[in-house]
Amino acid sequence: MLKSISTSCLVTLACCFNLLLHSYAFSGSPSDRTDRLALLAIKSQLHDPLGVTSSWNNSINLCQWTGVTCGHRHQRVTELDLRNQSIGGILSPHVGNLSFLRLIHLADNNFYGNIPQEVGRLSRLESLELANNSFSGKIPTNLSRCSNLVNFSAHGNNLVGEIPADVGYNWMRLEKLSISDNHLTGQLPASIGNLSVLKVINVEENRLSGRIPNTLSQLRNLFYLNIAGNQFSGNVPPSIYNLSSLELLYLRGNRLIGSLPIDIGLTLPKLTNFVIAENNFSGPIPNSFSNTSNLVMLDLNLNLFSGKVPINFSRLQNLSWLLLAGNNLGNGAANDLDFITPLTNCSKLIALGLYGNRFGGVLPHSIANLSTTTVQINMGRNQISGTIPSGIGNLVNLNGFGIDLNQLTGTIPHEIDLSNNFLNDSLPLEVGNLQNLVELDISRNQVSGCFIVVYARRRRFVHKSSVTSPMEQQFPIVSYAELSKATGEFSTSNMIGQGSFGFVYRGILGEGGLLVAVKVLNLTRKGAFKSFVAECEALRNIRHRNLIKIITICSSIDSHGVDFKALVYEYMQNGSLEEWLHHSNDQHDVCDLSLIQRLNIAIDIAYAIEYLHHHCQPPIIHGDLKPSNVLLDHDMVAHVGDFGLAKFLYACQVDDMETHSSSIGIKGTVGYVAPEYGMGSEASMAGDVYSFGILLLEIFIRKRPTDSMFNDGLTIHEFAMKALPQRVIEIVDPLLLLEVRTNNSKNPCGDGRGGIEECLVAVITIGVLCSMESPIDRTLEMRNVVAKLCAAREAFLSVYDLM
């Protein structure tokens, strides 16, 4: 009877029926006791800085616990919704006892560890949302037993292994499969073709390979298929192009070959986004795209398409992105660019990318009649002749117009200073109307009055973090005498820096003459011994190319019989980032780090911290990120060092609590330490994100956060934020702009990516987001940061790669 009384009644009745209530709320029936025990077991594994689960206690009915929903009738837990609550920790296997659960929503938190097999016991489960956490391990095989599952989303985690083929036999109600941005390998199981109500498949950015299974063509409700950024190869099964329900098809960045069926526009009439860039598709572009009237984005960049562009664009009223760069289109013929005139009917056009093809003929003057919404046009590296039409000034929103490396003639008055991409009011002609134009590149034509050489860097980029297997052994020990010898008795001439708790010396160790850096701890300093232990512990089991490596340690007594502790690292030839940014010495007089070098360094640092946060068990907080703790090796690869303030997160899970107890306290360095640490918050990933954000801003603005210009409440963060996005050029290190002038940045893709300014805006934006004052607003995690910085770098480098 009591179960049918609503909970608000219960409160009113509380005084009168205290005894009854007591038995209800505190022990309950056996079934809701099961739920309570399971939830408390889950809570016990969580790190909940916002106190979301503080209401999970025995003095209130579990159906009123935050994030918990019960069924009306049976008062059993049906939903567990803790999305986006900054919660960290492991998902307890006891979740499998909540047998009435229909929804688990834990997205946008910091969960780590495996998805427990026990979730497979939840036969009523319809929605399992785990996106944007750090779940690792495999997708549990037992999950396929959740035969009522409708939504499974686990994108943005660290999942490995294969997609279990079993799911294709059991998840008969599945509508959404979203597992992008993981490290999944193997094939896309053919059995997925059995899931006849599937609407969404997103496996973007994994390491899946093999063929695209032709069984996908059985999925008559599929409207979103995204397999971009994997290693799929071979031909796309022709039947896929028969899936008339498809609206968004992303095949970008695989190893796919073959040609497109000529009737694709008729078999896929609902297409809005067709993105197959960066593959090896070949053959002609089908003219049936003229019939896909909903098309918004057609991205065929970087394939091997050839022939004319036969599409009549006049009916594609929604077309915004037409990206055909880096193919073999056109025949150098007079009518190659005839498709431009119908394109003037596309009133939503944003970008037209034709760079790097074989388009010939005269530049159609109708280009001036393209929609005024157009932001980017790139026709560089073709065989286009004629003149730039004066009407181009109509395109008032254009901010990039590339037509370099063609055969244009005519005159551009010599007053235009084309060595500088930042055109100003003094521009004559209609080009002067282009208020938004930041890039105009007409170099390598026969346009008289100017001739500019475009400096192209061709460097292909291979720059990824590699994680080697953890070292199992303890460090080898070296004696005081050996270290003393190696460093010339710790002579001042060998002193290369000062760590948090002692001096650092250069040394030559042993017979092999190994160049090393030796940090000698000043044990009379408070916290020095603990920092020694912290650093040994932190670096004992981890290895990453962007973390400084301990070669050996010395724990001994010195020549006076006094305790002596030292850490010996690999030597970093190029010193610290601090020196590069702020010191003038004989090695490098001014900061001569180029934009790409700074970007690489920033990405190296981000990889290191991402590794500590998301790939170490338990996660490690660095706690003291700043330029002097970033060291550069002979290849200018950055290595993050000084783990003297490093801490293990969730230290209670580590066996030896003594060594990593929180008594080290969070000190950090003024200017870089997260504001919340000053208010007594515990070490957190968000704290490192803050320091990284400041560091990132410092690298590109080249001002210390403690610079005298930052006063009266103006921080480097605010200074950068106020400049976004229009004035970024004004606040960054002026030396970077010299590079803008000499490199004459261009944008071959014409797709809004690439270019130096875009790159700087992207980087400063990331720096600002990372250094938000309140940890709640600091929503980026290091893995997002890595991804965003890499994207900025890729966009920037794609400018040069195509050349």
Ligand X SMILES: *[C@@H]1O[C@H](CO)[C@@H](O)[C@H](O)[C@H]1NC(C)=O
Query: Does 27 contact ligand X by CB under 6 A?
Result: no
Of positions 435, 446, 522, 774, contacts ligand X by CB under 6 A: 522
Query: Does 530 contact ligand X by CB under 6 A?
Result: no
Cβ of residue 408: shortest distance to ligand X, in angstroms? 25
Query: Does 41 contact ligand X by CB under 6 A?
Result: yes
CB 184 within 8 A of CB 163: yes
Cβ contacts of residue 773 below 8 Å, gap of 6+? Answer: 675, 717
Q: Return the amino acid letter for 432.
A: G
Instruction: List Cα–Cα distances, 309 to 129, 339, 354, 374, 377, in angstroms.
Output: 43, 7, 11, 20, 16
d(CA 518, CA 71): 63
Query: Does 306 contact ligand X by CB under 6 A?
Result: no
Q: Which residues are annotated as a binding site?
A: 519
Query: Does 150 contact ligand X by CB under 6 A?
Result: yes
The piece of 354-362, 389-397, 687-695, 776-784 that touches ligand X (CB under 6 A) is 776-784
Of positions 469, 492, 524, 585, contacts ligand X by CB under 6 A: 524
Please say which residue, 452 or 533, places its beta carbon nearer to ligand X.
533
Of positions 27, 57, 411, 662, contacts ligand X by CB under 6 A: 57
DSSP letter at 244 equals: T
Of positions 29, 158, 235, 290, contacts ligand X by CB under 6 A: 290
Please say which residue, 37 or 396, places its beta carbon nearer to ligand X.
37
> Using CB under 6 A as the criterion, what x/- string covers residues 696-735 for binding ligand X?
----------------------------------------
The piece of 224-232, 312-320, 369-377, 547-555 that touches ligand X (CB under 6 A) is 312-320
Phi, psi of 448 (to 5 degrees): -80, 160
Cβ of residue 85: shortest distance to ligand X, in angstroms? 8
Of positions 21, 38, 363, 593, contacts ligand X by CB under 6 A: 38
Query: Does 684 contact ligand X by CB under 6 A?
Result: no
Phi, psi of 257 (to 5 degrees): -130, 180
Report the C-alpha dihedral over residues 82, 83, 85, 88, rounded to 10 degrees: 80
Please say which residue, 152 or 796, places its beta carbon nearer to ligand X.
152
- Binding positions for ligand X, 621-640, rule CB under 6 A: none
Cβ of residue 724: shortest distance to ligand X, in angstroms? 17
Catalytic site residue 624? Answer: yes
How many other C-beta atoms lie within 10 A of the C-beta of residue 655?
7
d(CA 605, CA 695): 10
> Using CB under 6 A as the criterion, what x/- string covers residues 464-503 for binding ligand X?
----------------------------------------
**Antiparallel, parallel or unpaired: β 495-499 and 502-509:** antiparallel
d(CA 17, CA 26): 14
Query: Does 9 contact ligand X by CB under 6 A?
Result: no
Query: Does 529 contact ligand X by CB under 6 A?
Result: no
Of positions 134, 215, 320, 378, contacts ligand X by CB under 6 A: 215
The piece of 116-124, 455-463, 552-560, 697-705 that touches ligand X (CB under 6 A) is 116-124
Task: Give the burial class of 365: count Cβ atoms within 10 A of its Cβ; 0-12 exposed, 13-18 middle, 19 or more buried.
Answer: middle
Query: Does 255 contact ligand X by CB under 6 A?
Result: yes
Lookup: tokens for 547: 């973390």
Q: Where are the beta strands (DSSP E) in 683-752?
A: none
Query: Does 117 contact ligand X by CB under 6 A?
Result: yes
Cβ of residue 72: shortest distance to ligand X, in angstroms? 18
The piece of 522-530, 589-597, 716-724, 737-745 that touches ligand X (CB under 6 A) is 522-530
Query: Does 139 contact ligand X by CB under 6 A?
Result: no
Of positions 193, 353, 497, 705, contacts ligand X by CB under 6 A: 193
Query: Does 280 contact ligand X by CB under 6 A?
Result: yes
482 membership: H or E segment, kind and range: helix 480-486
Query: Does 173 contact ligand X by CB under 6 A?
Result: no
Please say which residue, 142 or 555, places its beta carbon nearer to ligand X.
142
Of positions 45, 53, 133, 194, contacts ligand X by CB under 6 A: 194
Query: Does 74 contact ligand X by CB under 6 A?
Result: no
Query: Does 169 contact ligand X by CB under 6 A?
Result: yes
Q: Which residues are annotated as a binding site for ATP?
A: 519
Task: Give the burial class of 529: count Cβ atoms within 10 A of its Cβ; 0-12 exposed, 13-18 middle, 19 or more buried.
Answer: middle
The piece of 186-194, 386-394, 596-604, 741-749 that touches ligand X (CB under 6 A) is 186-194
Of positions 9, 453, 714, 776, contacts ligand X by CB under 6 A: 776
How many other C-beta atoms lie within 10 A of the C-beta of residue 20?
15
Indicate if the alpha-carbon torsion angle 550, 555, 556, 562 is positive or negative.
Answer: positive
Query: Does 220 contact ligand X by CB under 6 A?
Result: no
Cβ of residue 323: shortest distance to ligand X, in angstroms? 16
At residue 761, the 3 state secondary structure works out as helix
Cβ contacts of residue 437 below 8 Å, gap of 6+? Answer: 398, 399, 400, 401, 423, 431
Single out the catalytic residue among 32, 35, 604, 624: 624
The DSSP line for 69-125 is EE-TTT--EEEEE-TTS--EEE--GGGGG-TT--EEE--SSEEEEEPPGGGGG-TT-
Cβ of residue 584: shortest distance to ligand X, in angstroms? 26
297 membership: H or E segment, kind and range: strand 297-299
> Using CB under 6 A as the criterion, what x/- string covers residues 234-253 for binding ligand X?
----xx--x-----------
> Using CB under 6 A as the criterion, what x/- string covers residues 335-374 for binding ligand X?
-------x--------------------------------
d(CA 368, CA 347): 13
Query: Does 435 contact ligand X by CB under 6 A?
Result: no
**Antiparallel, parallel or unpaired: β 88-90 and 46-47:** antiparallel
The DSSP line for 341-369 is HHHTT-TT--EEE--SS---SB--GGGGG
Cβ of residue 28: shortest distance to ligand X, in angstroms? 13
Of positions 312, 344, 385, 653, contacts ligand X by CB under 6 A: 312
Query: Does 54 contact ligand X by CB under 6 A?
Result: yes
Report the C-alpha dihedral over residues 698, 602, 611, 649, rounded to 10 degrees: 0
- Binding positions for ligand X, 260-279, rule CB under 6 A: 266, 278-279
Please say which residue, 411 or 559, places its beta carbon nearer to ligand X.
559
Chain mean position to CA 318? 29
Lookup: tokens for 291: 């019939």
Please say which residue, 199 or 545, places its beta carbon nearer to ligand X.
199
How many other C-beta atoms lie within 10 A of the C-beta of residue 549?
15
Query: Does 197 contact ligand X by CB under 6 A?
Result: no
d(CA 627, CA 518): 19
CB 383 within 8 A of CB 406: yes
DSSP letter at 477 equals: B
With tokens 């008062």, the residue in question is: 75
Apex CA 206: angle with CA 801 and CA 471, to 5°?
A: 95
Number of residues lying near ligand X (CB under 6 A) = 55
Cβ contacts of residue 516 below 8 Å, gap of 6+? Answer: 486, 506, 507, 508, 509, 551, 568, 569, 570, 571
Please say which residue, 34 or 273, places its beta carbon nearer to ligand X.
34
Residues assigned a catalytic role: 624
Binding site residues, ligand X, CB under 6 A:
34, 37-38, 41, 54-55, 57, 59-60, 84, 94, 97, 103, 107-108, 117-118, 120-121, 126-127, 131-132, 142, 150-151, 156, 168-169, 176, 190-191, 193-194, 215, 238-239, 242, 255, 266, 278-280, 290-291, 312, 314-315, 342, 522, 524-525, 776, 779, 784
